[in-house]
Structure 1
Amino acid sequence: MVLGENSGEVSVSVEDSGCGIGPEDIEGVFGKFRGIAQKGFGIGLYLVKHFVESHRGRVYCQSELGKGTRFTIVLKKGVSHLPADAVPVRDGASPADHGLLGELVDGAEAGEKEEVAIVLTEDGKTADEVITGKKSLLLIDDEEEIGRYLDHLFRDRYLLYRASNGEDGWKLAQQVMPDLVISDVRMQGMDGVELCNKIKRSEALGHIPVILLTGETATEARLRGIEGGADDYITKPFDKDLLRAKVETVLRNRDQLRRFFFDSITLKETAIKVPAEYQEFLRRCIEVVEGNLDTEEFTTRKFAQAMGISRSGLYQKVKSISGQSLNAFIRSIRLRRAAVLMLKDNMNVNQAAFQVGIGDARYFREQFVKLFGMTPSEYIKKYRPAFNGELNIIKG
């Protein structure tokens, strides 16, 4: 750790001597990742950035592949730069006198093991709006009464965002990347069908499911919604239990997609049925990564080029299917290939690791255990006798 100071600022730098971060990935290390109930998705760096910027500071990353990474936090001295309603901790005050620290202390004294709900007042957001296991819904309706009703239906179970027209809904969808969109069809300007069509054509947003609401009952109107790419279509006045059930079903289907990915990547037989387009996308991803196992510096940018899609578009689609970042996704496929080599070609652990481009045997074992739930040696002992050269035959 390195501490620095000048007349107006203080800085703290921490660095390691690890593998480093590629220049194409540095811009995303502070990003807000979904699926945080999973492990290893980098939510810590997002929170660092959030808190530092809330205090009008800055944080940045410097890295070089093969040499290591440095993170630096810079904060201004004093309190004059803080918002007028910010309350600094007074000299001699106990932690409980400060809202944020007080809640942490209360939780620690109570011996709580769960996350403490921290209120973040600087931008009016609660902790659940910064980090939460809840799925997020974007509600779009130009009728205030309907908007409030939808808010009432879903506020307890989901993280909600609201927009009052299609244009604002489109902008907000790009900003918050919701897990599902519920939109009225008849709105001034961009209507719900146009919005749905625009979302579905977007590389970055195309994976987001959309449910359309309408007062029209004609078959043509419903057909127009479905042709626009809507995942479901509900006629007003709608039954609240039906709408809730449809939302839960659509989101559950997304979770099944991730289960299908996991079963496929860990070579387990799966009875889960997913659309052919996702099966083909996963097959193509595996094909591209396995075709570049010997390629030095196979970056996420090169991965995107080989898939014929923009890097941001590939990131969003991979994230929606697997819950993983691109680098973690590539690593999973490498480990999958190593598992096949150990079973099919009778390679030992070190040979398989080297063959898939992972030179550090210890790192290979650690990541293998995370993915398969057992060491490579245990995996070989358990499955090699039964393996017949085909994928998706191992019974979990």
Structure 2
Amino acid sequence: MLVFPQGVSAKQEPTDSLRSLIETTIGKRKGELNLELANLLLAENPDSSIYYGSKARAIGKEENDHVLIIRSYSVTGEAYQRQNKLKEAIASYLKGLELAEKYKEKSLAGTIYNGIGVCYFYLNDVKKAEQYMKRAARAKKDANDYQYYALIAINLAGLQIMNQSFDESVLTLKEAEKTLLKKKQDQYLATVYNSLGAAYQSVKPDSCVYYYELSLKYSTKHKDYLTKMNAYQNLGDYYFDRKEYSRAIDYMKLAIATNEKRPEDSYKPSLYQRISALYDSIGDFKHAYSYKKLETEARQRVFSVEKQKQIEELEIKYQSEKKEKEIQQNKQELERKNNQQNILVFCAVSLFLVAGFITYLIFQRKRIERQFEKEKLRLFENIFHEIRTPLTLIDGPIQVMKLDTAYPEELVLMERNSKKLINLVNELLDASKLGKGSYQLDYTNGNLIEFIENVIETFSGEAKIKAIQINYQPNELEAHYSFPSNALEKILSNLIGNAVKYCPAKSVISVSSEIKGNKLQLKVADDGPGIPKKDQKKVFRRFFRGKHTSDLTGTGIGLSLVKELIELTGGMIELQSSGVGTEFRMEIPVGKKQNEEVSHSLSTLAKNEDLPVLLLVEDDADMAAFSMSVLKEEFNIIHAKNGSEGLDLIRENLPDIVLSDVMMPEKDGIELLHDIRSDELTNHLPFVLFSAKASLESRLEGLQHGADAYVSKPFSPEELKLTILNLFSTVQRNKEAYNASILSEKTFEERVRSRNSYVNKVIECIVRHMDDSDYSVNELSNDMAVSRSQLHRKLSALTGFSTTNFIRMIRLEKAKDLLLNGDGNITEIAYKCGFSSQSYFTKSFTEHFGKSPSQIL
């Protein structure tokens, strides 16, 4: 479960007595004392916390103490966060983060990253929250602060579970487990295993018991009663869900017994409530009533404790105020002001309690509404997917019947309407994805003019029936750009389709495009009836249909989809209509054509994109410069100054080969090699060590850790070059061997299977979604838990295929086997293999095999 600090406090100026305490305290630096007070006042008086934080920061600047300054920014950020002033909190955190990164204070940077992540969580930006929490976990790990590393990793996994990213949460917790075991910090493993059990309970229930039992083992060992209680409770809930009530009751009793070893707290009512529900489920109403009574009593005690605490706090405040009045009895005017201040404080506290309760109710209501919307979208998606199956079975036989030259004319009408239904369902699915924020833009590098012309061409038949003329005027000087092809196709199709639908016969539709800067400016205009002024502000609302369209079919979702897609790309759309004719003007960001997977590095020597990428890890500047000069003709070279920096660049760029020194600061070459070989994403990389340590023991150590070659310094430039080129040639031969296997006459499984387990895992993902035409690079990279660029580099290195081409190759190879085995006609097999269009399937199949599907049949 995620636990974040929260709360709002009334403004309260620091009292004279606190100021006096600071001035008179002996044995503590003023800066440290102010910071300590800022931390103590966080929960009850965030404004006072901000005041003392600023005083500590001023002293830190006077004393040139960067640690004190960083910590003051951190506590100020948390104080703003507790007041729900999230923008101010992030601003304060970022100032502290800038200094922490400058002075390489990793532990402090980790604390601040976590604070920023919490702020973005409250702002409902889950993606950014997850990014900052990942950085926080990495920083705490690097700083050897394993207690907070474990807690942050658990919070991060909880966030991923809330975001339905169960596989990613498991990876996060597994990484935490691995680190804590490696560093022999098993006192923090109990909470990690408990969270692993929770992560698996939703997706792999049988595995959760194993991890809950491990949590019990370590929590018992280290007398961590809270985690032990939670583990027993989770096991009880697990068996409750499986309706194994006897075992569930046993575990709940163990949870209650464990909790008895802890002070009175809010867990008891929840435990009593659970076990009461269990007894109620088996009809043992006597025990159910008994525990329900204990639950009520426990809730009353908790409530009483909280109230007593509030009374004690008020009593302390009262006594303090009374004492001050006795001391200042001769200062009547000041006393009057103090009384007014006390009244204001009391009112503010009361307002805080009321506001907090109202905020909680609003939050709960919004959470329930979000859950309802989520379930509604899921229901709609399931219905849409179910509709696609019978539509496919309608459209498929139509295509088969059209193979007969004597097919009836009614078949064309049936085909056209089945296509409309399929497009409508796809449109509704896209709208559903946009509604829950899961729609992914697919950027394509290609000829923009041809793309727009192809979209327009799809409406030529419908336009011809109504004698409508569609004119396209491209004004680009250069035709090739990077653009969001899936979004652009839907935008143009909706706008042109609407124009054809609503314009009378013999109308003219004009489409024009122009590139200005990095923006594609599109215009779609017609001379139809236009849109009434009163409807122009409503047409982009979902499901809106004006009275002028009441005699035509439609859902009213098209223009809403267009606007949402354009906004998703970062563009804008405007509508102009004045009685006759309608004109839509759009701007969509595009880029100059570039390589599909773009990476950046600290320094790149060569510029030829056709060359393979080599990562050079060398801390000596002269040796690095010389090595670059030797290899610059054969490779694009990225340079890192140590193993830690090199590992970051490997994860970011995934080079084709790594050349590393052994002796380096922060992380040496052997440690870097171990990290690469233990990571599934990077374990395929050819790795060459070169070092002044030329002894046999040093060479054997490098080779035992998985190095592909070891070159001693001083080295022959030709030897170094040939060693690396030979390794790269071996990689190329492996690619060629895989391609040769694909061209063989073996079965599909034998042809595409690789000697590399990672490639086989990718193939399993594609085969599992073989009939899903929407399963593309984005979905595959999500399933493999890597970025698009990392997956592209990994597949290219192992198979020679880009990710897009690899998916298409697997689909086509499967289609070939189905055709040879007679498992359906061409249209059926196209849909089985994830092609939404028979024409595109035929074109792709012919390009890949040199024969059309009909020739194979």
TM range (shorter): 0.5 to 0.7
Q: CA deviation at 1:43?
A: 8.3
1:251 match: 728
Q: CA deviation at 1:329?
A: 1.7
Q: Which amino acid aligns with 2:669?
A: G
1:331 match: 808
Report 1:361-380 matches (<5 A).
361-378=838-855, 380=856
Instruction: Say if 1:171 and 1:218 are closer, same or farther in 2 by CA, change over 3 A.
Output: same
Counterpart pick for 2:443 among 26, 29, 40: 29
1:239 match: 716
| 1:221 equivalent in alignment to 2:698 | yes
1:121 match: none
Q: Which amino acid aligns with 1:217?
A: A
Work out the CA distance in 2 between the residues paired with 1:291 and 1:355: 11
Counterpart pick for 2:625 among 148, 152, 157: 148
Instruction: Say if 1:203 and 1:287 are closer, same or farther in 2 by CA, change over 3 A.
Output: closer
Q: Which amino acid aligns with 2:694?
A: T
Work out the CA distance in 2 between the residues paired with 1:305 and 1:160: 29
Match of 1:311, SS?
coil
**2:770–2:832: 8 Å Cα contact kept in structure 1?**
yes
Q: CA deviation at 1:207?
A: 3.3
2:490 match: 67
Instruction: Say if 1:220 and 1:68 are closer, same or farther in 2 by CA, change over 3 A.
Output: farther
| 1:160 equivalent in alignment to 2:583 | no
Instruction: Say if 1:25 and 1:241 are closer, same or farther in 2 by CA, change over 3 A.
Output: farther
Q: Deviations over 1:350-385 (max 9, x none)?
A: 34323323231221122123322333344x27xxxx
Q: CA deviation at 1:221?
A: 2.2
Q: Which amino acid aligns with 1:293?
A: M
Match of 1:67, SS?
helix
Q: CA deviation at 1:139?
A: 1.7
1:311 match: 786
**2:606–2:633: 8 Å Cα contact kept in structure 1?**
no
Highest RCO, 1 vs 2 (Cα 8 Å, sep ≥ 6): 1
Q: Which amino acid aligns with 1:67?
A: K
Q: Deviations over 1:105-161 (max 9, x none)?
A: xxxxxxxxxxxxxxxxxxxx99962x5211122222222332232122112222222
Q: Aligned residues: percent identity?
A: 26
2:742 match: 265
Match of 2:796, SS?
helix
Q: Which amino acid aligns with 2:796?
A: K
**1:193–1:228: 8 Å Cα contact kept in structure 2?**
yes
Aligned length: 286
1:207 match: 684
**1:62–1:69: 8 Å Cα contact kept in structure 2?**
no
Q: Which amino acid aligns with 2:786?
A: R
Instruction: Say if 1:375 and 1:208 are closer, same or farther in 2 by CA, change over 3 A.
Output: same
Work out the CA distance in 2 between the residues paired with 1:167 and 1:311: 20
Instruction: Say if 1:240 and 1:305 are closer, same or farther in 2 by CA, change over 3 A.
Output: same
Q: CA deviation at 1:258?
A: 2.4
**2:606–2:632: 8 Å Cα contact kept in structure 1?**
no
**1:184–1:214: 8 Å Cα contact kept in structure 2?**
yes
| 1:136 equivalent in alignment to 2:136 | no
Runs of 5+ unmatched residues, structure 1:
1-16, 31-41, 46-58, 78-124, 270-275, 382-396
Q: Which amino acid aligns with 2:617?
A: I
Report 1:88-127 matches (<5 A).
none
Work out the CA distance in 1 between the residues paired with 2:763 and 2:721: 36
Q: TM-score, normalised by structure 1?
A: 0.58
Counterpart pick for 2:831 among 333, 337, 354: 354
Counterpart pick for 1:289 among 762, 766, 787: 766
**1:138–1:162: 8 Å Cα contact kept in structure 2?**
yes
Instruction: Say if 1:44 and 1:180 are closer, same or farther in 2 by CA, change over 3 A.
Output: farther
Work out the CA distance in 1 between the residues paired with 2:744 and 2:811: 13
Q: Deviations over 1:313-337 (max 9, x none)?
A: 6444323223434333222111000
Higher strand proportion (structure 1 or 2): 1
Instruction: Say if 1:361 and 1:296 are closer, same or farther in 2 by CA, change over 3 A.
Output: closer
Instruction: Say if 1:357 and 1:145 are closer, same or farther in 2 by CA, change over 3 A.
Output: closer
**1:301–1:311: 8 Å Cα contact kept in structure 2?**
no
Match of 1:160, SS?
strand
Instruction: Say if 1:366 and 1:180 are closer, same or farther in 2 by CA, change over 3 A.
Output: same
Q: Which amino acid aligns with 1:310?
A: A
Q: Deviations over 1:38-71 (max 9, x none)?
A: xxxx4889xxxxxxxxxxxxx8748449835899
Q: Which amino acid aligns with 2:443?
A: V
Runs of 5+ unmatched residues, structure 2:
1-422, 449-481, 494-512, 520-602, 747-752
Match of 2:648, SS?
helix
Q: Which amino acid aligns with 1:360?
A: S
Work out the CA distance in 2 between the residues paired with 1:281 and 1:136: 21
Work out the CA distance in 2 between the residues paired with 1:364 and 1:262: 21
Q: TM-score, normalised by structure 2?
A: 0.29
Q: CA deviation at 1:204?
A: 4.4
**2:738–2:754: 8 Å Cα contact kept in structure 1?**
no
Q: CA deviation at 1:181?
A: 1.3
Match of 2:690, SS?
strand
Q: Deviations over 1:55-91 (max 9, x none)?
A: xxxx8748449835899976499xxxxxxxxxxxxxx
Work out the CA distance in 1 between the residues paired with 2:739 and 2:724: 23
Higher helix proportion (structure 1 or 2): 2
